[in-house]
Structure 1
Amino acid sequence: MAPLTMEQIERENNGDTSSITSLQLTHRALSDVSCLSKLAILKGVDLSFNCLSSLEGLSSCISLKWLSVAENKLESLKGIEKLSNLTVLNAGKNKLKSMEEIRSATSLRALILNDNNIFSICKLDQLKHLNTLVLSRNPISKIGDALENSKSMTKLSFSGCQIEKIGASLVSCTELKELRLAHNNISSIPSDLSCNTKIQLLDLGNNSIERYPDLKVLAGLPNLKNLNLHGNPISNKDNLAYKVKKLVPNLRIFNAKPIELNISKSTSGNVAPEINPPKETKTKHKFEKNGNEKTNSEKKSANSNPESNDAAESNNEKKKKRSTKNEEKKHGDEKIDDADIPFLDVILSESDNHNNLNSNKKKRKGQDKLVGAFVVDHTKKNNKKEKGKTVISGSLAIKLLSPPPDIGTGGSSTWD
């Protein structure tokens, strides 16, 4: 462990520190970064994977807008209070027991605190602009009234916590679009959830929901496109996908697969009708209609040679399996926010899969467009090259919170 010095910064920036607006200082075993307060116009810094035990050394960096201190040794967020311009904070994977300090960071729009030891959520009524809150995998048992005035909230994740009831805790979040509550102890969906009519993605996987009447509130979510109930007792019920589709006609993804595939699988052999039968059925009928069946001689030949017949059947079986596998891979590669997948990976994945099913990936000239970025500034976001180094303008929040740039590229952003 070692402190960061101005000499190091000058050496790495050819002696010019007056124009530095962003720094990436990851994997350096840094224990003290108080020298950063000398950089007057520093707006963003990535200090992930270091040995920081306190943020008080950053309290003088009043120009900071984006800060990542993920995977350090923080037990407190003391020092954040004075960063009045801070817009994005990523302090995931530390040893935090409380989040009280962030109440003074009134400019925050995105707060990432996954994988800590936080037991309760403080009231966030002063954070009027907060639109994204990630508290996945913390020992939180209830949401309470913490989000009572969070009217700007659009993304919430409490996956892998210890929540048993949602109740009326989200009634004020009328702009909510994505709600992730997988891997909790939730046994019923409250009727109050019908107040969140803008929800597009709802992940309730691996909970304790077992009764069909508990799902009827979903009929009040007209914009719901993506629903996950996998791992609940109710997921074993017959014709569940068909019944859910009747409740939510606009649903497109169910349990990480296109709803039509779920319906086709669950209704096979039952009386419930299929909605939009798979294309292969139509193709098969067309094939037979055109008279492309085997000739009598071919049939006789096949019957006289049982080994070749078995081989042909085996090949056909393999082709069918391969086709099914490809189909599922094509439509079912959605990442669900469970205990094995960090939420930040999901942020840059297809968080709104129904757009990906109906639109082509768009590419800018010479530059891929990132999906799932936090929109924290509506100014133009361009990379400017200056004196042999890259100065990032506007898009630093993405850099701080994202995995390598080849993940999650293509398509339009759904994070607003």
Structure 2
Amino acid sequence: MTQLSKEDILKNNNTHDPNSITALSLNHKALTSLSCLGDFKNLERLDLSFNSLTSLKGLESCFNLKWLSVQKNKLQNLKGIEALTNLTVLNAGTNKLKSIDEVKNLVKLRALILNDNEIASISGLDPLKDLNTLVLSRNPIRKMGNSLAKLKSIAKVSLSNCQLEAIDPSIKACTELEQLRLAHNDIKTIPAELAYNKKLQILDLGNNVISKWSDLEVLSSLHNLKNFNLLGNPIAEKVKLLKKIKKLVPDLQIFNAKRMDQLNRTQTDKKNGDAAFNAVDDSNLLKKKSKADGQTFMNSDAVPENTKYMDSEEHFGKIEVNKSRELAKGGDCVDATSNKFEKRNVDQMKKKHRMSEARQARGRELVAGLDDARNEMKQQKKRKEKHAEKEVEIQDADKGTEKISKRKARKADIDVIDDNETPFAELFIDDAQENMKSNEGKGKGDKVPGNIDSLSALVT
């Protein structure tokens, strides 16, 4: 394929002056060289993602760059960016980088995204005093060391899917830290030093090997914690975990990727369900006992052999008539004592039968009451869900945002932890595309400002 030339870029942007272009999107161009960019000295934003670059040499002349994406190339190092001292955002994710030494000169850098590389250690970050966001997920990093100790402005750190064995105590120096994502590692304990990170709002420790109750005690110091994940840890299997977390972090909103109000409803429903199950069991026992009592009456010696059923007082009366007829036919003389004994047996059977019917009636009333209670609970749940949905729509309207779908709203509420860096990468790409479009059709003398403020959602 023919390599992209300077002339092609000028033609595509409807201009003859390379200095009039401040933003370029050159993704998916099969680029292997950057020689075509030598004259674009006023570039502030450049998207080179999804190409075949093995080197960044050729970018030296683009010293005004503030925003650069070279993700999904074939880079083994970042040589060529040392002179880009105005960079505030660098995305070099999904390459073959083994180190990040070249970034130490980028003193204005605020967001550094290096996920899915081959970086084994963190170094060279000390000069980056303004660094706010660091993404190193899916790299073979075993130790954090004190690499973050001097990053006083760091607020978002993602080291998920690495090979970390511990959270270094030096993390306490990151007093501005708000998000810490360390899922899918080999972390065994939560250090007490984490208590110094008072501003922490999101803590993802899912799929590690944390097992001790004592590790959770530090959470009581994190008063701003809103989202906490422990799924996939041995401790997550403990029955009383939710109760413990609620006690330690009473203001927590999301736990193990579920809203706390949902977890509370589930817990309440489970309790009510267990109570209903036990009540139904009691009712079934009553029925069985009643049936057993009836069977006992049927097998009693006091009941004549020719009597096959007894379900009302009328049947008991028939028993007496039949017995009298049989006695008359046989010509037997029944004395007063015998008649009195038989009458007493019949009275006892009637009494037992009435008690059995009363127990069955109470059982039926209990089951009916439980059914009504279940239906009422379902109706209340539906009303609460409907009310919550209306509140989401009202809040969105007040903020002047576009109305989003319920599915996206739920995903935003749950805040799926570290979903391939969605909070970082998508913002990064979408912001670039928007600015690239705004640059189309600009002629000589028309410059698109490098609106770094639009990245505030990403880097602040």
Alignment partner, residue 8 of structure 1 = 8
Q: Which has the higher contact order (CA 8 A, sep 6+)?
A: 2
Q: What letter is aligned with 1:152?
A: S
Alignment partner, residue 416 of structure 2 = 336
Alignment partner, residue 55 of structure 1 = 56
CA distance in 2, matches of 1:394, 1:178: 27
Cα 1:247/1:391, change in 2 over 3 Å: farther
CA distance in 1, matches of 2:118, 2:52: 18
Matches within 5 A, 1:8-407: 8-16=8-16, 17-266=18-267, 331=410, 334-338=414-418, 341-343=419-421, 345-347=422-424, 387=441, 392-395=448-451
Deviation at 1:270, TM superposition (A): 6.6
Q: Secondary structure at the match of 1:9?
A: helix
Deviation at 1:268, TM superposition (A): 6.0
The answer as to whether partners of 1:384 and 1:393 remain within 8 angstroms in 2 is no
CA distance in 1, matches of 2:34, 2:252: 49
Q: Percent identity?
A: 48
Deviation at 1:174, TM superposition (A): 0.6
Cα 1:31/1:150, change in 2 over 3 Å: same
Q: Secondary structure at the match of 1:10?
A: helix
Alignment partner, residue 358 of structure 1 = none
Cα 1:387/1:94, change in 2 over 3 Å: closer
CA RMSD of aligned residues (A): 3.6
Q: Deviations over 1:191-242 (max 9, x none)?
A: 0101111001111111111122111101111110111111111111113122
Unaligned residue ranges in structure 2 (runs of 5+) = 273-363, 389-405
Deviation at 1:103, TM superposition (A): 1.0
The answer as to whether partners of 1:44 and 1:396 remain within 8 angstroms in 2 is no
CA distance in 2, matches of 1:397, 1:91: 21
The answer as to whether partners of 1:88 and 1:109 remain within 8 angstroms in 2 is yes
Deviation at 1:58, TM superposition (A): 0.8
CA distance in 2, matches of 1:260, 1:386: 48
Deviation at 1:392, TM superposition (A): 4.7
CA distance in 1, matches of 2:87, 2:157: 19
Q: Which has the larger radius of gyration?
A: 2
Q: Secondary structure at the match of 1:218?
A: helix
CA distance in 2, matches of 1:67, 1:385: 16
TM-score normalised per structure 2: 0.65
- Structure with the higher strand share, 1 or 2: 1
Deviation at 1:37, TM superposition (A): 2.5
The answer as to whether partners of 1:153 and 1:176 remain within 8 angstroms in 2 is yes
The answer as to whether partners of 2:56 and 2:80 remain within 8 angstroms in 1 is yes
CA distance in 1, matches of 2:458, 2:50: 28
Q: Secondary structure at the match of 1:57?
A: coil
Q: Secondary structure at the match of 2:170?
A: coil
Q: Secondary structure at the match of 2:172?
A: coil
Cα 1:348/1:87, change in 2 over 3 Å: closer
- Structure with the higher helix share, 1 or 2: 2
CA distance in 1, matches of 2:268, 2:259: 15
Q: Secondary structure at the match of 1:38?
A: coil
Q: Deviations over 1:159-204 (max 9, x none)?
A: 1000010131312111000110011111110001011110011111
The answer as to whether partners of 1:160 and 1:184 remain within 8 angstroms in 2 is yes
Alignment partner, residue 277 of structure 1 = none
Q: What letter is aligned with 2:423?
A: V
Deviation at 1:2, TM superposition (A): 4.9
Cα 1:385/1:45, change in 2 over 3 Å: closer
TM-score normalised per structure 1: 0.71
Q: Secondary structure at the match of 1:82?
A: coil
Q: What letter is aligned with 1:137?
A: R
CA distance in 2, matches of 1:28, 1:145: 40
Q: What letter is aligned with 2:4?
A: L
CA distance in 2, matches of 1:30, 1:63: 21
Q: Secondary structure at the match of 2:169?
A: coil
CA distance in 2, matches of 1:13, 1:91: 25
CA distance in 1, matches of 2:47, 2:430: 16
CA distance in 2, matches of 1:152, 1:192: 18
The answer as to whether partners of 1:203 and 1:336 remain within 8 angstroms in 2 is no
